[in-house]
């Protein structure tokens, strides 16, 4: 019997380690940018070709490395930032494990050029598959330039798992923004395939936020500044009107390191609880500074998840800091204390408050409920001056009279059923309806939200928004696999300008949007022209539709079970569906219900929400003991 356990060769061990550190091009971008920051650079340039698959290059003007350090930096666990075990608990640098460059060299062809300020010549090293194949002195400016070429060239299986260029570029932009946001005093630039996407001059944090997230935040940022003995919280939060339906512009940094924390996000959401809708998400860029001994940053390979020694204290400070900032800038709800001139003339103000009046006021239930001990929030349930308080909150019975051309938002009819059967054939729809309606069938709208449709033995209670969402979803799904939706060219095309990360996302969606009736073309840096929209939609709202589509599409971005096309058609179906509160006439209600019942799966939306509930006659009889 021979021994079977053996040490792995260095190149294989490095590739295994690289699987943790370098998962995609964006992972390498993060590691290289952090190293440049740690080198004390004031200017950092990132150059990308083919979404990082062909080239990732970072050029900085930092302190550079000696010839020996340049060779040593590619060894595993080689670092200048840790000398003893206690150093792990006082980490203030970005990269510290000594695995980044070793992992980079294991999965790509690397060229390193570096020089220190006091050296006459620099050093050039080429590494391939963890082996140094070239080393020579060169003339170079002080600083470091490291280029990764042909990522995963020696691991074809890993390369095949990479997403499309647009998707990978979006991840690169995200990592670039996170590093650039935390160091506004450093110049950053990002160039992709020869086009410069970012040119971020040195400045204040507010200037950096506006440079990255857009000028729309210029007058809508609230400063957060709280200093305590335990930690400091500073940064900016958005005013309530900047809240969006998706978690887009939300950044937490702990000791200048970007982190993801659902726990701290909940603290911010609690601070906004009374000023934004429950389904909206505020914008924030918050920096938490505390003793490194109070946190553990090495609990995850990407270092984006950390552990606090006392999470509850950090939660309380963050929530209090945001609440204080909103209150200080009069963002939270306040009472209006300006007194009307007419009030000054009223009897209650102008006439004296006599002893009789004081006694009458003191004996009232209202006075007692607010003056008795521990009764500050007590309201008398008996007869009192407050007995009609609920009437202020009763909904109005007045119907919503706003009308709209509902027919424009539904599929093109090809027969009396109201469904395009060319579309139905592509999806394998069952053309036979479960319920039939006669010309005498009367449809009723309830609260401008529900439709009551009588059937043979009972009635259907249809939710107009979820029903329309199901109809549009199946229509768009058919358009992506068969006949495209017809496009109506715009006489005056709308121009839309997006943030760089949204721009990368829209570039990825352009081919599928064309199938769905939106003709969108790039027009310069982060700018697009909407040349056409679906022919059955009303003109004039193309720009808002695309903006809302992007927000809704990002809502699904964290759910890996959805494909890109699935996210897109779900987003469009929700975006274009008729919303609750819209008045529908009899013809529109009939068409909506009939189109729903010929869908392949009429009873739920794509997300599983019911579209209608059926009440059968037997059930109704039981309700009344008939």
pLDDT digits (tens, 9 = 90+) for 253-310: 988 888 888 888 899 998 888 788 887 888 999 999 988 887 776 655 556 677 788 8
Radius of gyration of the chain (CA): 32
- What per-residue confidence (pLDDT) applies to 60? 94
- What per-residue confidence (pLDDT) applies to 17? 63
Q: Which CATH number fits domain 205-328: 3.40.50.1980, 3.30.230.10, 3.30.70.360, 3.40.50.880?
A: 3.30.230.10
For residues 155 and 160, what is the distance between their CA atoms, to the nearest angstrom?
9
CATH 3.30.1370.100 corresponds to the domain 406-616: yes
In sequence order, the β-bridge partners of residue 421 are none
- The pTM of the full predicted model, rounded to 2 decimals, is 0.65
CB 270 within 8 A of CB 165: no
Pairing of strands 250-254, 284-290: parallel
Ranges of the chain with pLDDT below 70: 14-21, 76-99, 297-304, 330-354, 357, 361-434, 536, 538-540, 555-562, 626
CB 525 within 8 A of CB 197: yes
3-state secondary structure of 160: helix
Domain range 10-200, CATH architecture: 2-Layer Sandwich (3.30)
- What per-residue confidence (pLDDT) applies to 421? 36
- What per-residue confidence (pLDDT) applies to 183? 94
Token pair recorded at residue 13: 């061990």
- What per-residue confidence (pLDDT) applies to 142? 93
For residues 117 and 55, what is the distance between their CA atoms, to the nearest angstrom?
27
* Per-domain residue ranges of the chain: 10-200, 205-328, 406-616
- What per-residue confidence (pLDDT) applies to 115? 93
- What per-residue confidence (pLDDT) applies to 403? 36
Q: Which helix (H) or strand (E) holds 518?
A: none
pLDDT tens across 548-597, in order?
778 777 766 555 556 777 878 888 888 788 888 888 888 889 889 988 98
Token pair recorded at residue 274: 């009374």
CB 319 within 8 A of CB 274: no
For residues 200 and 211, what is the distance between their CA atoms, to the nearest angstrom?
7
What one-character DSSP code corresponds to residue 465? H
- What per-residue confidence (pLDDT) applies to 91? 59
How far, in whole angstroms, is CA 240 from its chain's centroid?
16
Pairing of strands 450-455, 458-463: antiparallel
Give 214: exposed, middle or buried? Use CB within 10 Å, 0-12, 13-18, 19+: middle
């Amino acid at each position: 019997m021979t021994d079977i356990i053996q040490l792995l060769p260095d190149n294989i061990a490095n590739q295994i380690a690289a699987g943790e550190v370098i998962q995609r091009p964006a992972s390498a971008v993060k590691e290289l940018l952090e190293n440049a920051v740690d080198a004390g650079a004031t200017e950092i340039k990132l150059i990308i070709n083919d979404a990082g698959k062909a080239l990732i290059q970072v050029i900085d003007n930092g302190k550079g490395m000696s010839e020996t350090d340049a060779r040593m930096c590619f060894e595993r666990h080689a670092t200048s930032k840790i000398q003893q075990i206690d150093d792990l608990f006082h980490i203030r640098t970005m990269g510290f494990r000594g695995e980044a460059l070793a992992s980079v060299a294991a999965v790509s062809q690397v060229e390193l050029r570096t020089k220190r300020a006091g050296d006459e010549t620099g050093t050039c090293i080429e590494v391939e598959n963890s082996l140094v194949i070239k080393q020579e002195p060169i003339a170079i400016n002080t600083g470091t330039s490291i280029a990764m070429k042909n990522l995963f060239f020696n691991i074809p299986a890993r390369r095949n798992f990479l997403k499309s260029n647009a998707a990978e570029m979006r991840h690169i932009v995200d990592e670039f923004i996170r590093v650039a946001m935390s160091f506004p005093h450093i110049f950053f630039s990002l160039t992709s395939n020869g086009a410069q996407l970012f040119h971020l001059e040195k400045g204040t944090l507010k200037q950096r936020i506006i440079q990255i997230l857009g000028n729309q935040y210029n007058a809508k940022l609230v400063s957060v500044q709280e200093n305590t003995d335990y930690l400091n919280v500073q940064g900016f939060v958005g005013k309530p009107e900047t809240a969006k339906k998706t978690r887009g512009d939300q950044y937490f940094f702990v000791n200048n390191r970007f982190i993801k924390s659902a726990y701290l996000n909940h603290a911010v959401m609690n601070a906004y609880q009374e000023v934004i809708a429950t389904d909206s998400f505020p914008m924030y860029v918050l920096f938490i500074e505390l003793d490194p001994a109070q946190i553990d940053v090495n609990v995850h390979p990407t270092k984006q998840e950390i552990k606090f020694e006392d999470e509850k204290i950090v939660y309380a400070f963050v929530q209090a800091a945001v609440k204080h900032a909103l209150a200080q800038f009069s963002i939270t709800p306040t009472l209006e204390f300006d007194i009307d001139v007419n009030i000054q003339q009223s009897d209650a103000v102008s006439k004296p408050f006599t002893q009789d009046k004081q006694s009458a006021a003191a004996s009232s239930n209202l006075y007692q409920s607010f003056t008795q001990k521990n009764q500050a929030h007590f309201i008398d349930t008996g007869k009192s001056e407050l007995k009609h308080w609920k009437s202020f909150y009763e909904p109005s019975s007045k119907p919503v009279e706003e009308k709209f051309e509902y027919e424009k938002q539904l599929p093109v009819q090809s027969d009396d059923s109201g469904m395009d059967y060319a579309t139905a054939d592509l999806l394998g729809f069952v053309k036979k309806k479960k319920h039939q309606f006669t010309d005498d069938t009367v449809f009723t709208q309830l609260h401008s939200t529900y439709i009551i449709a009588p059937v043979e033995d009972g009635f259907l209670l249809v939710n107009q928004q979820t029903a329309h969402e199901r109809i549009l979803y199946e229509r768009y799904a058919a358009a992506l696999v068969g006949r495209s939706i017809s496009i109506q060219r715009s006489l005056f095309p709308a121009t839309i300008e997006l943030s760089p990360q949204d721009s990368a996302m829209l570039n990825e969606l352009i081919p599928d949007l064309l199938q769905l009736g939106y003709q969108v073309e790039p027009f310069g840096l982060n700018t697009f022209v909407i040349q056409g929209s679906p022919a059955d939609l009303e003109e004039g709202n193309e720009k808002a539709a695309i903006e809302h589509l992007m927000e809704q599409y990002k809502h699904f971005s964290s759910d890996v079970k959805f494909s890109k096309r699935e996210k897109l058609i779900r987003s469009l179906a929700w975006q274009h569906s008729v919303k609750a509160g819209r008045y529908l006439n009899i013809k529109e209600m009939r068409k909506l219900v009939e189109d729903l019942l010929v869908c392949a799966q009429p009873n739920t939306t794509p997300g599983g929400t019911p579209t209608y509930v059926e009440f059968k006659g037997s059930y109704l009889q039981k309700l009344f003991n008939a």
